[in-house]
Amino acid sequence: MGCQAGDKNSQKEFLEKYSGFVFAICVRYCGDMNYAWDLLQEIFVKIFVSIPSFNPKLGNIEPWIGTIARNHCLNYMKSKRITFKELNIQEIPLSIRNGAIEEMTSQELINLIGMLPDGYREIFNMIETDGMSTQEVAKFLGMAESSVRTKLSRSKSYLKKILLKIKSKEAWMNSI
Amino acid sequence: MDELNLNSLRRKLEKATYPVDNELLWSQVSERLPQRKKNKFLIYFIFGILMGGLAFLLLKNLSENPEFDNHTMAQDDNEDCPQSVSLERMEMEKSTENVLFNELIFTKNPISEERNTSPIPLSKIENDKPEFYDSGEAKILQSIEHRNSGIHFSRPLIPVYLLPNNPKESPNQFTHSIESQSSILNVNRNLYVDNENDIELLNSRKTTEKELFAVDLSAKYSILHRSGFYVGVGMEYLRIAEQKSYYSVLSDSVGIDDKYIHR
């Protein structure tokens, strides 16, 4: 791989190929485009520095990139010292029809998750999209496991509320 | 939000992409990327060749200049030099009518094997106790030694060092370093007279003031392997000139040291 030898053209090609994938992770974790852009640059610098140590025989490059990006975002999040806002969410009845998420594009979904408040967004991402256990997340954030579970539940409710608003707005737009 | 929807969300986000301005991103990322090791090696290689070329030119220049040899008195390298003065020089000094010079004395090769600091013998220049005087006739009590001019190779050293840091902590196999040192000295030397009442000598002193000028340049390139093996190559150029009204003496030396230090 030319990238491993430090060839500039190969690095550019590599960046063009995987920038969208990495940026999606950054936006998903940050919610803020400006922060996500800064993280994106840092992640690619990190990737190009450590790519000579990557062994293609041990696995695909994509999960390796995803792990670097995720860890970088999580470290950033940890250094930021997240403060959890108290969300005033009443239990929303499950009125969202099945298939609402399937109808959305991945970009819309990322934007949707990005609307979650700080802390809730990271917990949702770590558990629901990246498959971490509540125990792992609790250890990483230095919180009680029960607290993580509560916050996950609240983040799901908040997401439903947002989704419901979006869908009802779409329905209203379609009706006129 | 039911389980099905979350599975769908996970599946969609697994390989999701988000639009990026790749040109802008590349321009920003490429600026922050460290230089390639190959380029670094090339810089070190060119630096080494330049230093070698400089040493060769100096060697050629100095060996072709017969003026330096006229003032050469001691022909040794690292051994203590015999104290001697050439007849030509003695005659020159005698012709100065009671004016005697306290010469810069090098008792040892300035590029000696023990030097780790600047080899310029400043302390020697300043602390040399002037010799003699017999106000009547010129008499040199302390003989003078001048450094042999020309390229001077000091003996290669193979010392063993125990360095404090743990080389295994180094993330790379090799680390490189370049050290350089330069100094310029300018020292005024006056004729020494033992009798302050000797007006004739004091007057002569004013006219025989001389200036010593020394330039010292050194550079060293070293490669340290994580196992602790250390190879360093250094080069040093020392030029000392005396400028005075009667004659001038140039002392030049260029040293190339190779040190192979294992720890």
Give me the CATH number covering residue A161.
1.10.10.10
Q: Do A72 and A129 sit in the same domain of this protein?
A: no
Q: Report the residue of A45, A113, A157, A162 to disrupt the B interface, i.e. the one with the largest count of B CBs within 10 Å.
A: A45
| Diameter over CA atoms, chain A | 59
Q: Do B13 and A106 touch (CB under 8 A)?
A: yes
Cα angle B135, B137, B139; round to 5: 100
Which has more confidence, A161 or A98?
A: A161
Q: Rounded CA gap, B208 and B219, in Å? A: 36
- pLDDT on residue B197: 67
- Residue B135 is given by DSSP the state S
Size of interface A-B (CB pairs under 8 A): 94
Q: Is residue A2 included in any domain, yes or no?
A: no
DSSP string, A103-116: TS-HHHHHHHHHTS
Same domain, A20 and A64: yes
What predicted TM-score, i.e. pTM, was given to this entire model? 0.47
Nearest residue of B to residue A96 by CA position?
A: B1
Strands in B94-173 per DSSP E: none
> Could you tell me how many residues make up chain A?
176
Q: Is B144 exposed, middle or buried (0-12, 13-18, 19+ CB in 10 A)?
A: buried
| Residue range B79-122, pLDDT digits in tens | 343 334 444 444 444 444 343 443 333 333 444 444 444 444 44
Looking at this predicted complex, what is its ipTM?
A: 0.78
Cα A26 to Cα A37: distance, rounded to the nearest angstrom: 8
Tell me if A92 sits within 8 A of A164, measured CB to CB: yes
Structure tokens at B228: 């602790």
Mean pLDDT of chain A: 81
Q: Is A133 a member of any domain?
A: yes
What total number of domains does chain A contain?
2
Alpha helices in chain B (DSSP H): 3-14, 22-32, 37-64, 66-70, 87-94, 122-127, 199-207
Q: Does A159 touch chain B (CB under 8 A)?
A: yes
Residue A41 domain-assigned (yes or no): yes
| Contact status of A144 with chain B (Cβ, < 8 Å) | no
Does some domain include residue A142? yes
CA B207 – CA B245 distance, rounded (Å): 8
Structural domain harbouring A171: 106-175
Provide the token pair at B187.
């020292």
